[in-house]
Chains A and B, each alone.
Chain A
Amino acid sequence: DQQVKQNSPSLSVQEGRISILNCDYTNSMFDYFLWYKKYPAEGPTFLISISSIKDKNEDGRFTVFLNKSAKHLSLHIVPSQPGDSAVYFCAASGYSGAGSYQLTFGKGTKLSVIP
């Protein structure tokens, strides 16, 4: 049972346009959400996060929106650049017992920004 879903395996966008990556979750106990970016042959790197008490967080060209009632979050990249081409993973953090928090990842969306 996938608790974090990224339904689009891939997305192509023209350079300079907006990229919108979507993520849905099922566990209402998740209280912190993160986006990671992964280039080939490298580990994932943290991009941006949002707490469940907020509905928006911005960092430069990257904005994450959270809709708790819909259990949906999205990552907006404006303007998109060729260097943004990577796999983007959505992750959700929740309490997993024994004083521990665990990240649950989606399967990722491969973004291709076309020059």
Chain B
Amino acid sequence: DSGVTQTPKHLITATGQRVTLRCSPRSGDLSVYWYQQSLDQGLQFLIQYYNGEERAKGNILERFSAQQFPDLHSELNLSSLELGDSALYFCASSVYDQTYNEQFFGPGTRLTVL
């Protein structure tokens, strides 16, 4: 158990809908990262928050947004969903924002868009 929790574990929805994925980082970790893993793909970095502020953006679509709240939990919002958004979404956390920081991953949320 990494100490990172993600809810829900599974989510099935229809095209055009909006969903929210939730992540609670390990106690004491200030950085939260979101990744997408599509079929046969590696982990694609989406976005990072550090202590409530957006720190870095990766391959995140404009239909997707995220935020980190004062208690450091984070939410990833996906809107106008398309079939291609079906994927595993992982959240990770780390103490700081440094190159030598190991990231701890949650178990993921499997999103299926029908």
Q: Which of B50-58, B62-70, B76-84 contacts A (4 or more CB under 8 A)?
A: B50-58
Pair count A-B, CB < 8 A: 70
Contact residue among A4, A46, A100, A108 (Cβ-Cβ distance under 8 Å from B48): A100
CB contact under 8 A between A49 and B102, given known A100-B56, A105-B42 = yes
CB contact under 8 A between A45 and B105, given known A99-B97, A107-B42 = yes
- Residues of chain A with a CB closer than 8 A to B35's CB: 105
Contact residue among B2, B43, B98, B99 (Cβ-Cβ distance under 8 Å from A89): B43
CB contact under 8 A between A51 and B100, given known A96-B56, A98-B55, A102-B58 = yes
How far, in angstroms, from A105 to B35 measured CA to CA in the complex? 10
How far, in angstroms, from A34 to B45 measured CA to CA in the complex? 15
Chain A residues 46-98 with CB under 8 Å of chain B are: 46, 49, 51, 89, 91, 93-98
How far, in angstroms, from A69 to B48 measured CA to CA in the complex? 31
Q: Mark B33-53, 1 if CB is under 8 A from A, else 0.
A: 101000011111100101000
CB contact under 8 A between A99 and B90, given known A34-B102, A106-B42 = no
- Residues of chain B with a CB closer than 8 A to A104's CB: 45
How many residues on B have C-beta within 8 angstroms of the other chain's C-beta atoms?
29
Nearest chain A residue, comparing its CB with the CB of B104:
A46
A87 to chain B, nearest CB (A): 10
How far, in angstroms, from A83 to B48 measured CA to CA in the complex? 32
- Whether B103 pairs with A42 at a CB distance below 8 angstroms is no
Q: Is B108 at the interface (CB under 8 A from chain A)? A: yes
Q: Is A103 at the interface (CB under 8 A from chain B)? A: yes
- Whether B55 pairs with A44 at a CB distance below 8 angstroms is no
Question: Using a CB–CB distance below 8 Å, which chain A residues touch chain B?
Answer: 4, 6, 31-32, 34, 36, 41-46, 49, 51, 89, 91, 93-108
| Known A43-B92, A46-B103, A105-B43; further 9 A-B contacts with Cβ < 8 A | A43-B106, A44-B90, A93-B99, A93-B100, A95-B99, A102-B58, A103-B43, A105-B44, A107-B40
Question: Using a CB–CB distance below 8 Å, which chain B residues touch chain A?
Answer: 2, 4, 33, 35, 40-45, 48, 50, 55-56, 58, 90, 92, 97-108
